Amino acid sequence: MSVLSRLFAPPATDDLARRAAAVLADMGGAPAGELATLISGDRPGRLPSTLFPIGDNPGALGMAAARLPSRLAATLREAAEPEPAATDEDAIPELFCPGPVRDNPALGEEVNERMVEWAEQVGIYPGRLDHLRSCGFGRLIMLTHPGTDDPDRLLAATKVVVAEWAADDYYLDEEEMGADPNLAAARLGVLYGVVDPVILPQRYQHELDRFIKEEPIALAFRTGMEHLAKYTTVPQMGRFQHQMAILFTALDQNASWRNTGQRPAVWEYLMHRHHNSYLPPMILIDAVAGYELPAQEFFDPAVRRAFTMAGTAAVLLNDLHSMSKEADNDISLPIALMEEENCTRHEAVKRTVEIHNELMRRFVVEAAELCLTGSPMLHRFLADTWAWCGGSREWHATTKRYHAENAA
């Protein structure tokens, strides 16, 4: 039996998909959504909560940081321990990821509806607006950014994340909708000129302007980023553009694998997911919440290491949930594991959860270390990163994008 037929073979597959989805959705043993609880082992609220605006009580943050070392040793010991041994060796381990810090369905729906109106205006997902609505991207952004209740701020972030998904769907993934891996790099190259606006010599500029007006995904980026710019500082916009360049390079890499039929090794796929991760939406955490992590700290390699670990872990959760909808020739961590390590689908899912958990545990350890010295803004950014992962977990477990069985 080939790897792919083993992966998609019914009915064991359906059964495994159901069991895996149940484990991923079960928040019963989830760690606390407040990172401070984990790091300090103390009651929540000593470190900046995702819900405390910066400046409310900066003195308390300094005191909390001063208390960390005695607690840190215990955290490090605990985090370094291997996964708790399961009674059943085959069991898929619990996901080491919090649940959502805030769930406000009405707010999510408001943002979602406004996003669908905008999508209709710019022309993305033509004839598929009900499908777009059912994905609940407005709900994703409501869940992942608990630091604000402002629908307009959430909408700005939703527009750009939907533009990203549209590029992925229409240029790379959904061949029946015109995606073509042969054209992906050329299309994404032009699109990057919208993300980081290009000014052409005068006699050619009108052609680019016309292209942007007529290409819905380009117009989605142009208008989404204009909206986002209301809430970003210059460095925040700059780092977002940098992250988009990284994403597009990774999408080109994915297209290249599809063109050649080459299958990535596990390490190579993990590197790819480091670049094709959830960082594009996560990088807006502070902008959406209304504060700024200074560039000096944001680009500190130790901060970037912790942040990218969380971004990769979050996208590996996407790999697990999207297995049911991906095409046979798609590439994901479970598929790479099956191909390289010749394991069953069940083992590949289990191993993917273990890798996810390893990254998330390392994030907590690194965040604890960073909290010893970082600014209150950094404490909050790390707490918000953890909360982002919790909101994302909830969305992945419930969205109709990955759970057609939930469709109306």
Ligand X SMILES: CC(C)=CCC/C(C)=C(\C)COP(=O)(O)OP(=O)(O)O
The residue with its CB nearest to ligand X is 322
Q: Which is nearer to ligand X, 32 or 270 (CB)?
A: 270
Tell the smallest beta-carbon distance from residue 136 to ligand X (Å).
12
Tell the smallest beta-carbon distance from residue 71 to ligand X (Å).
34
**CA-CA-CA-CA dihedral for 274, 275, 281, 287, to nearest 10:** 100
Does position 247 bind ligand X by CB under 6 A? Answer: yes
CB atoms within 10 A of CB 20: 22
Does position 161 bind ligand X by CB under 6 A? Answer: yes
Q: Which is nearer to ligand X, 61 or 111 (CB)?
A: 111
Q: Which is nearer to ligand X, 164 or 297 (CB)?
A: 164
Distance CA 248, CA 233 (A): 23
Map tokens 């999510």 to a residue.
Answer: 108
Q: Write the interaction track for ligand X spanning residues 80-119; mark x where CB under 6 A is met and - where it is not.
A: ----------------------------------------
Which residue among 151, 281, 334, 376 contacts ligand X (CB under 6 A)?
Answer: 281
Interface size with ligand X, residues (CB under 6 A): 14
Q: Which is nearer to ligand X, 164 or 384 (CB)?
A: 164
Q: Which is nearer to ligand X, 219 or 282 (CB)?
A: 282
CA end-to-end span of the chain, whole Å? 36
Nearest residue to 338 via CA among 2, 3, 1? 3
Q: Which stretch binds ligand X (CB under 6 A): 180-188, 189-197, 255-263, 277-285?
A: 277-285
Q: Which is nearer to ligand X, 264 or 280 (CB)?
A: 280
Which residue among 257, 278, 307, 363 contacts ligand X (CB under 6 A)?
Answer: 278
Tell the smallest beta-carbon distance from residue 280 to ligand X (Å).
5
Does position 269 bind ligand X by CB under 6 A? Answer: no
Which residue among 276, 312, 357, 392 contacts ligand X (CB under 6 A)?
Answer: 276
Tell the smallest beta-carbon distance from residue 35 to ligand X (Å).
22
Q: Which is nearer to ligand X, 95 or 247 (CB)?
A: 247
Which residue among 96, 118, 125, 165 contacts ligand X (CB under 6 A)?
Answer: 165
Tell the smallest beta-carbon distance from residue 124 to ligand X (Å).
13
Tell the smallest beta-carbon distance from residue 203 to ligand X (Å).
35
Q: 99-136 b/e with 16+ CB inside 10 Å = b?
A: bbbbeeeebbebbbebbbebbeebebbeeeeeebbbbb
Q: 321-334 b/e with 16+ CB inside 10 Å = b?
A: bebbebeeebbbbb
**CA-CA-CA-CA dihedral for 81, 82, 88, 89, to nearest 10:** -160
* Span 292-351, contacts to ligand X by CB under 6 A: 315, 318, 322
**Which amino acid is located at 326 in the chain?**
E
Chain contacts with ligand X (rule: CB under 6 A): 161, 164-165, 168, 173, 247, 276, 278, 280-281, 315, 318, 322, 401
